[in-house]
Amino acid sequence: MKQKTQTQTKPTMLSSTSLRFSVLLLFLSSLSHSSCSGPSLQESFAQCLFLKSDKSFPFFASIYAQYNSSFSTVLNSSAQNLRYLLPSAPKPKFIFTPTSESHVQAAVICSKKLNIHIRVRSGGHDYEGMSYVSEIEKPFIVIDLAKLRGIMVDIQDNTAWVQAGATIGELYYRISEKSSVHGFPAGLCSSLGVGGHITGGAYGSMMRKYGLGADNVVDAKIVDANGRILDRKAMGEDLFWAIRGGGGGSFGILLWWKIKLVPVPQTVTVFTVTKTLEQGATSLLYRWQQVAPFIDQDLFIRVLIQPIGNKTTGRTISTSYNALFLGDSRRLLQVMTKSFPELGITIKDCLETSWIKSVLYIAGFPNDTPPEVLLQGKPTFKNYFKAKSDFVRDPIPKSGLEGLWKKLLEEENPLMIWNPYGGMMSKFAESDSPFPHRNGTLYKIQYVTLWENKYEDATKHINWIRGLYDYMATYASKSPREAYVNYRDLDLGMNKKNGTRYKEARAWGKRYFKGNFERLVKIKSKVDPENVFRHEQSIPPLAVSKRTKKH
Ligand SMILES: Cc1cc2nc3c(=O)[nH]c(=O)nc-3n(C[C@H](O)[C@H](O)[C@H](O)COP(=O)(O)OP(=O)(O)OC[C@H]3O[C@@H](n4cnc5c(N)ncnc54)[C@H](O)[C@@H]3O)c2cc1C
Ligand SMILES: *[C@@H]1O[C@H](CO)[C@@H](O)[C@H](O)[C@H]1NC(C)=O
Ligand SMILES: *[C@@H]1O[C@H](CO)[C@@H](O)[C@H](O)[C@H]1NC(C)=O
Ligand SMILES: *[C@@H]1O[C@H](CO)[C@@H](O)[C@H](O)[C@H]1NC(C)=O
Ligand SMILES: *[C@@H]1O[C@H](CO)[C@@H](O)[C@H](O)[C@H]1NC(C)=O
Ligand SMILES: *[C@@H]1O[C@H](CO)[C@@H](O)[C@H](O)[C@H]1NC(C)=O
């Protein structure tokens, strides 16, 4: 891994490269679409990259402008939410896919120089498309890190370096390739990009034992607003704190995470048990709220809740208890008999497997899918969706659950996922990292509504989920009503333009970060006072300083 820590650009370079530069200019002018309109934005950008970075690199092969035939393929490649690919969604002027760290540095310097708004994309899973759509500024470009996906696992050192464009599934696979008793506690969905995922927290089925992905980071490398590469030592503890939970796209471009591996047993156990309303789902879920956050830390039992059936068969609510236990089935049954006998699981429900296969199971791949599927590195399903989140601190009474079923049955394709907290999650203080949803949180709810047809009326579904969210206000955390930054929700408020003030941003900032919001603003003001890294919900600096154009 190269470790450049200085901006590498000075006017002296001009003379030494003037010959190549004029050759490039010739080349550029021959490319200009209109001979009298001067270079296009992508031409100016390519020219700047050439000057600021790699003098021998064919940048045009890494810049996808709207007129390039592969533009839409590249834009679509990792975008998860089809809502943000519709023709009505604003499109980037071009997409740049750096193949080295110095390209990322140059991209920051050049976008500042040309005053182009940038969006950064790693895995493209942002719920509101923040990594490839800007609703607030035009023109904008996307820096897509998909080609930067190196992973180096060091079992002796119990760590790994992983590059921003790698997926979490690739990381899991590379760990399992070297050891069957090491793992990493991050997301359940294997196509998440580590760049955006870990910086927003990153929870998964080992969170009750080991905390979040962000809680298990030991070092990082980022490109800051001045185009410098900083590691933990160079960035200092404040910024290192901010990037471990403060959310993507606010503080710089993450290049690498250095993560701490965690021990996993040779044999783990998984199960999924489903109960409908007719099978006593309401009482059972009422009980789950009191048990799941306090049960043995080796056990994570989430609940997937959705309507099933149709007009002919009748519709009901299905609740699926989907679990990972870090141990064998014998011990799991002991834990369940003691703490949660109501679920009634038996040895027949249990599947003993390896940790890496449990990753596939929890991610929803069919049994016997080979782990190599994790190397696919792209989403396995995509749809149109809108999602929201809540944290629950007191059990919802049965009457509340019954009202919730009525709401769910109104919608075609809704899904709720209830995710138990407790265990290690409670052992961190709220201010240990920007992620504040710690002790006292029983579980998190994710609400989703999905549709598959582009002609469908999104407003109908979005209004439905907003209504559901209103209904749940009684039962959710209050003052603030907390939300998970990695489940980005623009209903909570957004920066209207690049100069949004701290006071306006508090509305959503407090929900994602509680008391940590002020500290994030202070750090942002120090490391990116000009607000180079910004989007609809980026952390604002205290006062946006006037951009001084450097020419
Ligand atoms: C199907 C699905 C399943 C999910 N499952 C989980 C889960 O199990 N656990 C969990 O915690 N979350 C989960 N999430 C949420 C997920 O963690 C966030 O959407 C996360 O931000 C995705 O990161 P990304 O790199 O894939 O996304 P991107 O869309 O690429 O980025 C997300 C945000 O981070 C910024 N960003 C991206 N790369 C960088 C970078 N290198 N440096 C700085 N900023 C960057 C972007 O600009 C954007 O603001 C899920 C999301 C989806 C769609
Ligand atoms: C985009 O089109 C230009 C002009 O035709 C071409 O030079 C460039 O190589 C293309 N870029 C890519 C990534 O294909
Ligand atoms: C990209 O996605 C959009 C929206 O779903 C679709 O219209 C377009 O055809 C896709 N492009 C490619 C190349 O698949
Ligand atoms: C309803 O569901 C049943 C069982 O899954 C299926 O056989 C039937 O075709 C469905 N009917 C309609 C109208 O979708
Ligand atoms: C969490 O909070 C509860 C009660 O509010 C307290 O009894 C417990 O000690 C706390 N746990 C930790 C690990 O701080
Ligand atoms: C904010 O946006 C305006 C126009 O969109 C632009 O002129 C200005 O330079 C931007 N300011 C900053 C701080 O980027």
Per domain, the residue ranges of the chain are 20-144, 151-263, 268-472
Atom of ligand 5 nearest to the CA of 439: 1
Q: Which CATH architecture has domain 268-472?
A: 3-Layer(aba) Sandwich (3.40)
Instruction: List, for residues 220-251, the tens digit of each pLDDT value.
Output: 999 999 999 999 999 999 999 999 999 999 99
- Residue 427, ligand 5, Cβ within 6 A: yes
Residue 20 confidence (pLDDT) above 90: no
Give the Cα separation of 499 and 501 in Å (integer): 6
Q: Which CATH architecture has domain 20-144?
A: 2-Layer Sandwich (3.30)
Residues 6+ apart with CB under 8 A from 287: 340, 342
* 66 CA distance to ligand 2 middle (Å): 10
Instruction: List, for residues 153-205, the tens digit of each pLDDT value.
Output: 999 999 999 999 999 999 999 999 999 999 999 999 999 999 999 999 999 99
Sheet holding 268-276, edge to edge: 351-353, 268-276, 314-325, 299-310, 414-420, 443-451, 384-392
Give the Cα separation of 245 and 197 in Å (integer): 9
Instruction: List, for residues 269-285, the tens digit of each pLDDT value.
Output: 999 999 999 999 999 99
Please report, in angstroms and rounded to a whole number, the separation of the first and last CA atoms in the chain: 32
- Residue 367, ligand 4, Cβ within 6 A: no
pLDDT for position 15? 39
Residues 6+ apart with CB under 8 A from 512: 247, 482, 483, 484, 485
Lowest mean pLDDT, pick from 182-186, 222-226, 298-302, 546-550: 546-550
Residues 6+ apart with CB under 8 A from 371: 173, 176, 356, 357, 359, 360
Residues 6+ apart with CB under 8 A from 520: 242, 246, 250, 434, 509, 513, 539
Instruction: Say which residue the tokens 């500024």 belong to.
Output: 137
18-25: list long-range contacts, CB under 8 Å, 24+ apart.
20/50, 20/55, 21/50, 21/51, 24/50
pLDDT tier, 60 (very low <50, low <70, confident <90, very high otherwise): confident
Minimal-distance CA residue to ligand 2 atom 4: 31
Pocket of ligand 2 (CB under 6 A): 31, 60-61, 63-65, 68, 70
Minimal-distance CA residue to ligand 2 atom 7: 60
- Phi, psi of 189, deg, nearest 5: -90, 125
Q: Indicate the SS3 state at residue 134.
A: coil
| Domain 151-263 shares a fold with domain 268-472 | no
Residue 11 confidence (pLDDT) above 70: no
Residue 496 confidence (pLDDT) above 60: yes
Atom of ligand 6 nearest to the CA of 547: 13
For residue 31, the ligand closest to its alpha carbon is 2
- Residue 313, ligand 4, Cβ within 6 A: yes
- Identify which has the larger pLDDT, 159 or 2: 159
pLDDT for position 498? 55
pLDDT for position 160? 98
Residue 23 confidence (pLDDT) above 60: no
pLDDT for position 311? 85
Residue 355 confidence (pLDDT) above 90: yes
pLDDT for position 52? 87
pLDDT for position 503? 77
pLDDT for position 544? 57
Q: Exposed, middle or buried: residue 511 (CB in 10 Å: 0-12, 13-18, 19+)?
A: buried
Lowest mean pLDDT, pick from 7-21, 243-257, 341-355, 514-528: 7-21
Please provide the size of the chain in residues. 551
- Residue 198, ligand 1, Cβ within 6 A: no
Please tell us whether the domain made up of 151-263 is placed in CATH 3.30.70.520. Answer: no
Pocket test for ligand 6, best of 498, 525, 549, 550 (most atoms within 8 A of CB): 498
**CB-based burial, 339-351: b 16+ in 10 Å, e otherwise:** ebeebebeeebbe
Q: What is the mean pLDDT of residues 82-86?
A: 96
Query: What mean pLDDT, rounded, does the chain reach?
Result: 91
Q: Indicate the SS3 state at residue 56.
A: coil
Q: Which residues pair with 390 in a beta bridge?
A: 445
| Tokens matching residue 245 | 């939970």
* 377 CA distance to ligand 1 middle (Å): 14
DSSP label at residue 445: E
Q: Is the dihedral of CA 481, 483, 485, 490 positive or negative?
A: negative
Instruction: List, for residues 375-415, the tens digit of each pLDDT value.
Output: 998 777 899 999 999 999 999 999 999 999 999 999 999 99
Atom of ligand 1 nearest to the CA of 381: 1
pLDDT for position 441? 98
- Residue 35, ligand 4, Cβ within 6 A: no
Residue 31 confidence (pLDDT) above 70: no
- Residue 203, ligand 1, Cβ within 6 A: yes
pLDDT for position 32? 45
Count helices and strands in the chain by DSSP H and E runs: 16, 18
pLDDT tier, 39 (very low <50, low <70, confident <90, very high otherwise): confident
pLDDT tier, 37 (very low <50, low <70, confident <90, very high otherwise): low
pLDDT for position 1? 38
| Tokens matching residue 383 | 């749809």
